Structure 1
Amino acid sequence: MRLIYKILSRSEWDEAVSTGRYHGSPDDKHDGFIHFSTAEQVAGTLAKHFAGKTDLLLVAVDADSLGPSLKFEPSRGGALFPHLYGSLETAAALSVEDLPLGGDGQHLVPETIRSVSKGGA
């Protein structure tokens, strides 16, 4: 199983859960796909696109379950980022976790993400 992650607001996720599908943020819709990050990319995505934002969630999805609509494409610094061309069934979420801000103003990511981004498991 290859986990990928979507960072989004609680209100976006709540709306998606009410319909069973997430169709993306305004940026996703503009770009024509839903932006995801790998575990190694989450911290950088938070810093670049979500700095200081509150009430965020981290949704984990099995990349392999998304089929051919998921493509890994070059983005920031040439790194391959997962992009979903289509909507996401909310039932595909394996976990949904809060991303609170710490005292230093940085988001507190789950330990499983921190260990991967530092070269751990």
Structure 2
Amino acid sequence: MADQIAYKVLLADEMARLEADGRFAGAPVDLADGYIHLSTAAQLDATVAKHFAGRDGLFVAAVDLSAFGDALRWEPSRGGALFPHLYDVLTLDSLVAYGPLERDEDGAVKLPVAG
């Protein structure tokens, strides 16, 4: 199932909106690009470093990719790597886990775990 999970980094107000509304149409960059940017576990650290450096109050959501069918596309992005792009709204019920962004002792972003 791990290959069916991708991650979305959210600001605190975005996470609050997702929790309150049960859906999230995307951050400004997502809305501008026409899809919600997601990252695999292997891509997550670089995504946080590139797009969220110095930001506090971040959340990481683990998204069940199987919930989206054809609305999910793997497309080349940073360095030609394939990234999961969601051409739909992100729904709260598609999340398998989420929580505040935390780092392990090596400084890597910890993946949220259900439970």
Unaligned residue ranges in structure 2 (runs of 5+):
none
- Give me the identity figure in percent: 44
Deviation at 1:97, TM superposition (A): 2.0
User: For residue 37 of structure 2, what is the amino acid of its counterpart?
Assistant: H
What CA distance in whole angstroms lies between the structure 1 residues aligned with 2:48 and 2:18?
A: 21
What CA distance in whole angstroms lies between the structure 1 residues aligned with 2:59 and 2:69?
A: 24
Q: Number of matched residues?
A: 110
* TM norm structure 1: 0.83
Does the CA-based 8 Å contact 1:55-1:100 persist in structure 2?
no
Unaligned residue ranges in structure 1 (runs of 5+):
113-121
For residues 14 and 50 of structure 1, do their structure 2 counterparts lie closer, same or farther at Cα, with a shift above 3 Å needed?
A: same
Instruction: Kindly report structure 1 stretches of 4+ aligned residues shifted beyond 3 Å.
Output: none
* TM norm structure 2: 0.87
Deviation at 1:99, TM superposition (A): 1.1
What is aligned with 2:42?
A: 40
CA RMSD between the two structures: 2.1
What is aligned with 1:77?
A: 79
Q: 1:98 aligns with which of 79, 100, 107?
A: 100
